[in-house]
Amino acid sequence: MFQGDNAVFHFELDDPSNTFAVVSNGRQGEIQLMNPVDREVKEIYVFQVSAVESRTSQQFRSQPSQVLVRVLDKNDNSPVFQKDSYEFDVPRTALRGFQIGQVIATDQDIGLNGLVSYFLQPVPAWDAFTVDKDSGVLSLDRDLALADVGTHVTTVVASDRTALASEIR
């Protein structure tokens, strides 16, 4: 174990991204975040830290240690639909279960934060539509009748499974 002047160090950090800094208290160093990080922009940072004796004339330097920082995901993105609106034609003779079409939304987050669920709003929407919560496939929930001919608008909401949402009509 080092003692006396050989036991006092300062730390030097070589971080090309200028995202991290090291603060030392003489015997220990603490790596601190200097700029915000975002996993969707950059997930992994690699840099090196060296210890340098502070109170000796030669100021011996340690071999650099490589530090790898993996940025964890934060639920900071809402799902985004691939189109601003969707339009589908349905034959008047379509029966219950007929697949009308599919709406697709993606979320840049990963894991549970990026899983997208779909639902109709308001609930209940026009009683002839249903949407698969996992795939976004719109289907008929009942057989169509002559009175159903015309244009019908419904709102599909895409939500990541931790409450951020987007909607499309």
Supply the pLDDT for residue 166: 67
Q: pLDDT tens for residues 12-44?
A: 999 999 999 999 876 788 999 999 999 989 999
HSE-up of residue 55 (Cα within 13 Å, Cβ side): 10
With a cut of 70, say whether residue 1 has pLDDT above it: no
pTM for the structure as a whole: 0.71
Supply the pLDDT for residue 28: 83
Q: What angle do CA 40, 105, 45 make, to 5 degrees?
A: 10
- Residue spans of the domains in the chain: they are 4-70, 80-168
Pairing of strands 137-140, 116-121: unpaired
Computed over its alpha carbons, how large is the radius of gyration of the chain?
Answer: 28
Supply the pLDDT for residue 141: 92
**Which of the two residues, 151 and 6, has the higher pLDDT score?**
151
Q: pLDDT tens for residues 108-140?
A: 998 888 999 999 987 655 678 999 999 999 999
Q: pLDDT tens for residues 145-167?
A: 877 888 888 899 999 877 656 66
CATH code for the domain defined by 4-70: 2.60.40.60
Supply the pLDDT for residue 29: 87
With a cut of 60, say whether residue 79 has pLDDT above it: yes
Domain 80-168, classified CATH 1.20.1440.120, yes or no: no
With a cut of 70, say whether residue 67 has pLDDT above it: yes
- Using CA atoms, how far apart are residues 126 and 104, in angstroms rounded to an integer? 20
| Lowest-pLDDT choice from 14-28, 47-61, 66-80, 128-142 | 47-61
**If you average pLDDT over residues 51-62, what whole number do you get?**
79
Helix (H, G, I), strand (E, B) or coil at 75: coil
